[in-house]
């Protein structure tokens, strides 16, 4: 078994070496590409027809001048930003034109299993799926992505991802920056691999099945970082999604602390100031950057690099520790003045999670190592894990025909998760939860609000308190899984009903 690099998460050693290694930081002398602004589809106003999302095949230039083969949603890569409001119903036509089966899952939405878009709601190529989504939850940054069983990793990597911003009366009237593309930006972070000719490549190997696909190149809203955005003097709001297949991102600012105001499920109780923040795949965080008095600031992203074999790998490993730190997004102020409110203290009323209301405890052990030869699997895989049986939860790989857990609608439960090795971001469909403990300890303050992702690292239990308020019958069950997409495709996923 290969040795996993764990120093990224273990802290001190890695931190010290990355502080001393500022030369590792790619910053100066790199031409800054403009930050792409995701096209906004504002569905808060009235609209008559069903909203069309077309999954399509395309080519896309990530900024290196090369047209790579991609998938997109209404565009060449990624999808639009859908802005919807709590209390509204969103009628969608999802048309699949990618040449193979796909699905579109609404990650973070509290909606019934029948419209959840998981692996059971397959859309054949050439077909249209027409769910009506009743938006009942508080303001939050959610997202949508392919969940085609065994093909999720590749389809998401190629571009089948978009964001859905839910607003409510509180968020619309909050004293926060709110002008899209001016002081309010949605940022999708991903890492990619480009081959020697500059084409986007997706290549499953023993390593990229084992760790999930880690890319060497950070991409922001579909453009290779670093990118730059002019902003007015004032507060700037960044709504950030980690939509990587597998990589974790450690975020910080070049100047000042991060002011975290929201997590996956919406506003935190109050602003959390932190020097850095760790984002697993699937997580969302909103931060405020105070640009009143400074001319520029950078969002710094530290992430892992793919493992290289041989002497090249050894040299890079010595130089970088297998990690890279990049000033991904530069914000620069001009002469204009923008939102001049201050960073709020209190944001929302969140109760303290009360574990005694749970009616039962369920345990999930995520199993990365089951004896399957990942090198052989990679050779045989044709770049997707198929209905892989390489990874498991509680001794069983995902099986579309098997329901693993049955939950009573309206119940609140504690779900506790541990892993056999390494780190795995665990996700539950159709709900938000509160983290009671993470790896046996208190989660960081920024992870104490509403979440639908919990990072599980090591053998100590991570526990969440979760209520199930929507139906998911056995023909359209919900999923729970590791959000490292190669692990999910390899079987680290299970199904549950809510009835």
Pick out residues in 123-152 that bind ligand C2O (CB under 6 A). Answer: 145, 147
Distance CA 482, CA 393 (A): 9
Q: Is 391 in the site for ligand C2O (CB under 6 A)?
A: no
Binding partner of residue 145 among Cu ion, ligand C2O, none, CB cut-off 5 to 8 Å per kind: ligand C2O
Q: Is 470 in the site for ligand C2O (CB under 6 A)?
A: no
Region of 483 on the Ramachandran plot (φ > 0 left; ψ -120 to 50 alpha; else beta): alpha
Q: How far is the CB of 453 from Cu ion (least distance, A)?
A: 9
Pick out residues in 474-493 that bind Cu ion (CB under 5 A). Answer: 482, 484, 487
Q: Is 284 in the site for ligand C2O (CB under 6 A)?
A: no
Q: How far is the CB of 143 from ligand C2O (least distance, A)?
A: 7
Q: How far is the CB of 285 from Cu ion (least distance, A)?
A: 17
Q: Is 158 in the site for Cu ion (CB under 5 A)?
A: no
Q: Is 86 in the site for ligand C2O (CB under 6 A)?
A: no
Q: How far is the CB of 88 from ligand C2O (least distance, A)?
A: 22
Q: How far is the CB of 218 from Cu ion (least distance, A)?
A: 21
Looking at the Cβ atoms of 110 and 424, the one nearer to Cu ion is 424
With CB atoms as reference, the residue minimizing the distance to ligand C2O is 107
Q: Is 392 in the site for ligand C2O (CB under 6 A)?
A: no
Binding partner of residue 487 among Cu ion, ligand C2O, none, CB cut-off 5 to 8 Å per kind: Cu ion
Looking at the Cβ atoms of 233 and 429, the one nearer to ligand C2O is 429
Q: How far is the CB of 23 from ligand C2O (least distance, A)?
A: 36
Q: How far is the CB of 141 from Cu ion (least distance, A)?
A: 13
Using CB under 6 A as the binding criterion, the count of chain residues that bind ligand C2O stands at: 10
Stretch that binds ligand C2O, among 254-262, 349-357, 416-424, 477-485 (CB under 6 A): 477-485
Looking at the Cβ atoms of 274 and 387, the one nearer to ligand C2O is 387
Contacts of 35 (CB under 8 A, 6+ apart): 185, 187, 220, 221, 223, 227, 228, 229, 329
Stretch that binds Cu ion, among 54-62, 155-163, 191-199, 429-437 (CB under 5 A): 429-437
Looking at the Cβ atoms of 303 and 429, the one nearer to Cu ion is 429
Pick out residues in 60-79 that bind Cu ion (CB under 5 A). Answer: none
Looking at the Cβ atoms of 305 and 419, the one nearer to Cu ion is 419
Q: According to CB under 6 A, which one of 158, 237, 239, 427 is a site residue for ligand C2O? A: 427
Q: According to CB under 5 A, which one of 107, 120, 237, 239 is a site residue for Cu ion? A: 107
Interface residues with ligand C2O (CB under 6 A) are 105, 107, 145, 147, 282, 427, 429, 479, 481, 483
């Amino acid at each position: 078994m290969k040795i996993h690099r764990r120093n990224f998460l273990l802290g001190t050693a890695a931190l010290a070496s990355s502080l001393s290694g500022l030369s590792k930081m790619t910053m100066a002398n790199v031409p800054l590409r403009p930050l792409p602004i995701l096209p906004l589809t504002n569905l808060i106003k009235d609209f008559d027809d069903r909203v069309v999302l077309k999954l399509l095949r395309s080519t896309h230039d990530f900024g290196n001048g090369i047209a790579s083969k991609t998938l997109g949603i209404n565009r060449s890569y990624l999808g639009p930003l859908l802005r919807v409001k709590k209390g509204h119903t969103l009628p969608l036509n999802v048309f699949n034109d990618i040449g193979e089966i796909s699905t579109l899952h609404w990650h973070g939405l509290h909606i019934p299993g029948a419209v959840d878009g998981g692996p059971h709601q397959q859309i054949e190529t050439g077909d249209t799926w027409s769910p009506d989504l009743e938006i009942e939850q508080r303001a939050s940054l959610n997202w949508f992505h392919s969940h085609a069983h065994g093909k999720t990793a590749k389809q998401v990597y190629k571009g089948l991802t978009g964001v859905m911003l839910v607003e409510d009366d509180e968020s619309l009237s909050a004293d926060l920056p709110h002008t899209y593309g001016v002081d309010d930006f949605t940022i999708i972070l991903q890492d990619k691999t480009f081959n020697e000719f500059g084409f986007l490549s997706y290549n499953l190997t023993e390593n990229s099945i084992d760790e999930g696909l880690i890319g060497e190149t950070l991409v922001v809203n579909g453009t290779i970082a670093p990118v730059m955005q002019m902003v007015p003097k004032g507060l700037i709001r960044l709504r950030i999604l980690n939509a990587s297949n597998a990589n974790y991102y450690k975020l910080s600012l070049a100047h000042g602390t991060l002011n975290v105001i929201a997590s996956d499920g919406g506003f935190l109780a109050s602003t959390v100031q932190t020097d850095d923040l760790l984002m697993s795949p699937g997580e969302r965080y909103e931060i405020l950057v105070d640009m009143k008095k400074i001319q520029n600031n950078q969002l710094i992203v530290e992430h892992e690099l793919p493992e290289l074999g041989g002497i090249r790998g050894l040299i890079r490993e010595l130089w970088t520790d297998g990690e890279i730190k990049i000033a991904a997004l530069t914000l620069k102020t001009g002469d204009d003045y923008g939102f001049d409110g201050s960073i709020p203290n209190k944001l929302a009323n969140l109760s303290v999670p009360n574990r005694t209301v749970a009616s039962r405890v369920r345990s999930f052990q995520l199993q990365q190592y089951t004896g399957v030869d990942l090198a052989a699997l990679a050779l045989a895989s044709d770049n997707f894990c198929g209905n892989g049986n390489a990874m498991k939860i509680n001794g069983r790989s995902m099986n579309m025909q098997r329901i693993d857990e049955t939950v009573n609608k309206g119940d609140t439960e504690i779900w506790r998760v541990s892993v056999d090795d390494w780190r795995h971001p665990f996700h539950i469909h159709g709900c938000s939860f509160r983290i009671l403990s993470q790896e046996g300890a208190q989660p960081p303050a920024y992870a104490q609000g509403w979440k639908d992702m919990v990072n599980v690292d090591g053998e100590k239990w991570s526990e969440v308190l979760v209520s199930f308020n929507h139906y998911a019958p056995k023909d359209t069950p919900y999923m729970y899984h590791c959000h490292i997409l190669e692990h999910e495709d390899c079987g680290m996923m299970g199904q549950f009903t809510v009835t």
